[in-house]
Structure 1
């Protein structure tokens, strides 16, 4: 029976390397790294620092790691010393607080404070309960009022619906009235056009009557001129009669022998007087005709003006009625 010999094979101490160490005999301590020349002490130290998260150190630290470690160690020692002092202070405070926790008087004071707070909370809870009960009563009263208001609102809604139906009926009636008013407006426009034509005809008639009046005035003027001429002739005849009378008187005074001539003169005087009487009658006739023509012209003008006034008043009344009808319809619609 054979016995298996187990040989202890050492591996390279470079991080991550599982190769066996270099077994080449030499002077000094045996090698702990493999045959890879890059696997040495300094490279292994850098690799371990990289694995430990210290790969960002300065190049001087990599060159002189012991000095760097001494410097960092002194800094950490100072920090630990400060932390120890702070720890001692905190420890004294902790001991004081623990004494307070273990003090029966402090416990009794806290129990009394808790009891007082509980009593206050109980009183506050009782007050809140009273307020809640009062609020509940008020809420019930408000609910009753709300129910009454809801019933009243329902009644108002019914009334409003009835009013709305009445308004809709009124609107339909007003719409019909508006259609009728539109038709009346059209008829009124037609009547206005007809009345306008009548006014134009009356205006033409008035113009004609005015022309006739002017002609009558010219006749009166002509008659007045004839009257003036007749008056002048009468005055001339009277002057001639007076002259004849004077001549007759002178003839009678001068000689009685001239009786024949005097008779002739007297005859001429009588003829002149007769002519004067005829002219006076003609003058009276002319004056009468002038007065008649003036009166007739005045009557015709008055009648024409009266007819024009009557027609204008009738037209204005009709226009006022036609203008008032749309306003009445609009007033009815607003009502």
Structure 2
């Protein structure tokens, strides 16, 4: 503990005091005796000493005179301390009164108050100017916001009109598409019907031509077979005639004129 520290002597009980450090004042005047507790002062200490003395007297009731003498001595000591403290407080009060009535200190404080007032007035004027500037900015922003709002309302009206026109155009386009689709469906149905009819005719003609071709092919096959038969009959006939002629020639003499004529005709014919 530092030597300059002072402990609070306010009595808590008969054998213990407060003991907290006393914070000394920085200005002029008598040093403080008690701590920052507002109940710890000289008057309350006197009352506490009386209560503790009465408690001690009740504890040593077999020696009332001695106890009373001790209490009286202690009370006188505390009264002397209280007197000294009151005298110091009165001296402080006189010093404070002198400071209050000192013209120089009053002039200094008035000058300080004036400077503070001037500074506050300057701050107030600056705040007023700033507020007026902010108000002007706010009015300008308000006007710009109103102009933007009006422009937005106009654009909104234009957009609504354009939307209605777009809806009307969409409806017209949808009707046109519906009509075109119906026309296309009718045309497709008509073309499909014609194509189906033509395709049916083509199928029928193809079947007819296929039947005709099959018939012609069968006839060709029959004619081929008949032609093969005719060729075979002709071959057999030529063979028979050749054999018959050969037999006939074998019976006729080769030196006769008739034989020579027949032979020559046969050679020329060959």
Name the TM tier (shorter chain). 0.3 to 0.5
Give the structure, 1 or 2, with the largest relative contact order (CA under 8 Å, sep 6 or more).
Answer: 1
Which TM-score applies when normalising by structure 2?
0.45
Query: Where is the helix percentage greater, Structure 1 or Structure 2?
Result: 1
